[in-house]
Structure 1
């Protein structure tokens, strides 16, 4: 089955995200902190008259927090009718995969294990396929 994937870098790792999950790729202009929000919520930002909840993928993966300079490039996804921006290190390209999702055959740390759907082959590389909804939920989802 052919599927389009968006190749991005999160926390220094090249990973694949189903392109069907992605509404757009944006550069965030400003970020307003949200008091008492979950640790992985970086804040709120505006995009074309819409408010986006901005998710720090670094924090969602339990790797600390992204630095201020890293809070710029993001992919916009939707969950339950609400738009979210997932902060990523960089966005590469949209590519096709013809292979099936394979099981992960290595040990992943807690955050990566929680968001991994499996492995996919794209342009000759084997990449971790990320569940965007698990990134949105953050580490609290694992505890629940």
Structure 2
């Protein structure tokens, strides 16, 4: 596998996003609330005259929200899913690395949220990382429950 991966931290866990699915990394200053949006939608933000739906990755994974999640600048990875642009809120953006092989099945117990977004473990020079399905993060737990 010759794939570039973006290493990010979500809820203290280092994971990988397929770099080909990431349009860029941004710092968001302000979020506009969206009434009646699913819980994992943090709000809307503007980026170069384009509206982004902002996804709180912690809430998408059914984890506790970050303390002071709306204070200061928020880091996000901009992705496009089904023609719509999203910013995935992450704790930190680290680096872009090469995958050293194809994703392998995860051989450890994970929470339901992590299991839902997992594409498997992928080996990198940084060590093994969970490869995350961007579309599953965007869909959130509500969509997954409705499909079941």
TM-score per shorter chain, which class? over 0.9
Aligned length: 144
In the other structure, the counterpart of 1:50 is 50
Q: Deviations over 1:36-94 (max 9, x none)?
A: 10000000000000000000001000013232237600000001111100000000111
Measure the CA separation in 2 of the matches of 1:141 and 1:36.
15
TM-score normalised by length of structure 2 = 0.93
Q: Secondary structure at the match of 2:20?
A: helix
Measure the CA separation in 2 of the matches of 1:132 and 1:37.
19
Structure 1 gap segments, 5+ residues each: none
Residues 59-78 of structure 1 correspond to what in structure 2 (within 5 A)?
Answer: 59-66=59-66, 67-69=69-71, 72-78=74-80
Residues 1-144 of structure 1 correspond to what in structure 2 (within 5 A)?
Answer: 1-66=1-66, 67-69=69-71, 72-143=74-145, 144=147
Q: Secondary structure at the match of 2:71?
A: helix
1:71–1:87 contact (8 Å) kept in structure 2: no
1:70–1:89 contact (8 Å) kept in structure 2: no
- Alignment RMSD: 1.2
Q: Secondary structure at the match of 1:69?
A: coil
Measure the CA separation in 2 of the matches of 1:16 and 1:71.
22
TM-score normalised by length of structure 1 = 0.96
